[in-house]
């Protein structure tokens, strides 16, 4: 990776310097309204269940479940990052990543439709699968790696991709899968949580929807739950918007405002965290007790080839396996700069033994490490010390 950990170019759907401005410039300015004298640059959260609305009810702001000016600013910010300069892309924010995911699936699919999901994706997808099946939707699954979802696409109405997958960090070829799905008349959604819009632009790679949890690196401080859907097809997005209104899966104005404030530092955080993740992966690779090390930014990682073609940055998550469950638990206990916690993407490093939840098909000693914004040398030293101290 280059100095800024950016590798715009062939295959990413992002050729050259996008629309003049660099990612840091775009991040600090994303979604800001025209400046108004004596007003703050980023207007504060608008707390309103309803808006003053005498006479004929016309938009944009009528009732707080339908629209809110604080969401509007945040939605513009996310759109400018997911699809710079593309005003035909619409973005909708949600109360959580799962609200966003559910809104796409349940607004687009009907009884009798076929949906293809990854079998190694986010841990709530099996719950979603059960619910889809209860509504008479056929669900097929296949692994992310090796573009294996291609083999089960025939007759599908919607293909759900998660790349890099969480927690296994496999990567699939979004452009190839999207072309195959579109040739069969299927819609394509990509879970862009792990990469963030500065790491990957699914819409430029051919997806119909880029969907993500904003709870992770997008907002990056572990204090907000948020989700979003970005899409270009106006009809499909109208259905997603309608679903948000029906289920009321809306973010509070305070969360939306905090998220927007956090996006200003997105480029700083991802560049720092992702560069440190690579250093951490390199340090772990040298350790004999570490197996199954995965980081898409490592040149010899099985995901690296495709990742380097379609990603702009490789994320802040590193996964690996220690010999036993007990060893992994001792390692996690011995860490001082890495908090034991689930989730990922925050400025403070976190790690967990993924097997403690059940569900993911991972070894007992499998650790998912989310690399934060600590000084790289401090973090690497802490990890190596904890490995030493946890040895048998």
Residue 18 or 315 having the CB closest to ligand PLP: 315
- Supply 335's token pair: 């860490």
| Residue span binding ligand PLP (CB under 6 A) among the ranges 16-24, 92-100, 228-236, 361-369 | 92-100
Q: Does 215 bind ligand PLP (CB under 6 A)?
A: yes
Residue 219 or 390 having the CB closest to ligand PLP: 219
Size of the site for ligand PLP (CB under 6 A): 14
Q: Nearest-CB residue to ligand PLP? A: 97
Distance of CA 277 to the CA centre of its chain: 17
Q: Can you tell me which of 79, 216, 244, 354 binds ligand PLP, judged by CB under 6 A?
A: 216
Q: Does 98 bind ligand PLP (CB under 6 A)?
A: yes
Q: Is 146 left (phi over 0), alpha (psi -120 to 50) or beta?
A: left
Q: Does 96 bind ligand PLP (CB under 6 A)?
A: yes
Residue 298 or 316 having the CB closest to ligand PLP: 316
Q: Does 217 bind ligand PLP (CB under 6 A)?
A: no
Relative to beta strand 158-162, strand 187-191 is parallel
What's the min distance (Å) between Cβ of 203 and ligand PLP? Answer: 17
Residue 225 or 280 having the CB closest to ligand PLP: 225
| Residue span binding ligand PLP (CB under 6 A) among the ranges 209-217, 265-273, 346-354, 364-372 | 209-217
Per-residue DSSP letter, 278: H
What's the min distance (Å) between Cβ of 131 and ligand PLP? Answer: 15
List the interface residues with ligand PLP, window 152-181 (CB under 6 A). Answer: 162, 166
Burial of 1 per CB tally in 10 Å (0-12, 13-18, 19+): middle
Q: Does 354 bind ligand PLP (CB under 6 A)?
A: no
Residue 346 or 376 having the CB closest to ligand PLP: 346
Q: Does 120 bind ligand PLP (CB under 6 A)?
A: no
Q: Can you tell me which of 106, 122, 257, 320 binds ligand PLP, judged by CB under 6 A?
A: 122
What's the min distance (Å) between Cβ of 167 and ligand PLP? Answer: 9
- Please count the helices (runs of H) and the strands (runs of E) in the chain: 11, 12
Written as one string, the DSSP assignment of 169-191 is -----HHHHHHHHHHTT-EEEEE
Reduce the DSSP state of residue 294 to 3 states and report it: strand
- Supply 200's token pair: 């990957």
Question: Is residue 116 a contact partner of residue 142, using CB atoms and an 8 Å limit?
Answer: yes
Q: Does 227 bind ligand PLP (CB under 6 A)?
A: yes
User: Rounded to whole angstroms, what are the CA distances from 60 to 43, 52, 163, 175?
Assistant: 17, 12, 35, 36
What's the min distance (Å) between Cβ of 191 and ligand PLP? Answer: 5
Rounded Cα–Cα distance for residues 35 and 190 (Å)? 34
Q: Does 213 bind ligand PLP (CB under 6 A)?
A: yes
Residue 137 or 225 having the CB closest to ligand PLP: 225
Rounded Cα–Cα distance for residues 287 and 123 (Å)? 29
Query: Quick count: other Cβ atoms within 10 Å of Cβ 15?
Result: 11
Rounded Cα–Cα distance for residues 2 and 7 (Å)? 7
Q: Which residue has the tokens 């939605």?
A: 75
Rounded Cα–Cα distance for residues 30 and 271 (Å)? 17
Here's the x/- map for ligand PLP, 182-201, by CB under 6 A: it reads as: ---------x-xx-------
Q: Which residues bind ligand PLP (CB under 6 A)?
A: 96-98, 122, 162, 166, 191, 193-194, 213, 215-216, 225, 227
């Amino acid at each position: 990776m280059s100095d800024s950990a950016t590798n715009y170019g062939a295959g990413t759907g992002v050729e050259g310097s996008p629309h003049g401005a660099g990612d840091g410039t775009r991040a600090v300015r994303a979604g800001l309204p025209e400046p108004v004298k004596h007003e703050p640059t980023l207007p504060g959260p608008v707390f309103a269940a309803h808006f003053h609305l005498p006479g004929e009810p016309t938009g944009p702001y009528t009732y707080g479940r339908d629209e809110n000016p604080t969401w509007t600013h945040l939605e513009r910010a996310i759109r400018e990052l997911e699809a710079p300069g593309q005003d035909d892309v619409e973005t909708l924010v949600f109360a959580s990543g799962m609200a966003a995911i559910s809104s796409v699936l349940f607004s687009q699919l009907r009884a009798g439709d076929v949906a293809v999901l990854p079998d190694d994706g986010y841990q709530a997808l099996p719950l979603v699968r059960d619910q889809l099946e209860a509504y008479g939707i056929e669900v097929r699954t296949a692994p992310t790696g090796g573009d294996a979802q291609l083999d089960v696409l025939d007759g599908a109405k919607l293909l759900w991709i998660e790349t890099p997958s969480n927690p296994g960090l496999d990567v699939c070829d979004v452009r190839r899968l999207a072309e195959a799905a579109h040739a069969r008349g299927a819609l394509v959604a990509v879970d862009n949580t792990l990469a963030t819009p500065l790491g990957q632009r699914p819409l430029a790679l051919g997806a119909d929807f880029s969907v993500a949890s904003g709870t992770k690196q997008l907002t990056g401080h572990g204090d907000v739950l948020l989700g979003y859907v970005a899409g270009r097809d106006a009809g499909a997005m109208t259905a997603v918007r309608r679903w948000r209104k029906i289920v009321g899966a809306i973010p509070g104005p305070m969360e939306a405002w905090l998220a927007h404030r956090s996006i200003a530092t997105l480029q700083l955080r991802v560049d720092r965290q992702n560069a440190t993740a690579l250093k951490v992966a390199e340090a772990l690779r040298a350790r004999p007790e570490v197996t199954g090390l995965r980081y898409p930014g490592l040149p010899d990682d099985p995901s690296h080839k495709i990742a380097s073609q379609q990603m702009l940055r490789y994320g802040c998550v590193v996964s690996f396996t220690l010999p036993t469950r007990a060893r992994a638990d001792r390692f996690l206990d011995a860490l001082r700069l890495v908090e034991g916690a689930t989730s990922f993407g925050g400025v403070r490093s976190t790690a967990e033994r993924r097997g403690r939840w059940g569900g993911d098909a991972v070894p007992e000693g499998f650790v998912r490490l989310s690399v934060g914004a600590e000084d790289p040398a401090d973090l690497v030293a802490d990890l190596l010390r904890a490995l030493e101290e946890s040895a048998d």
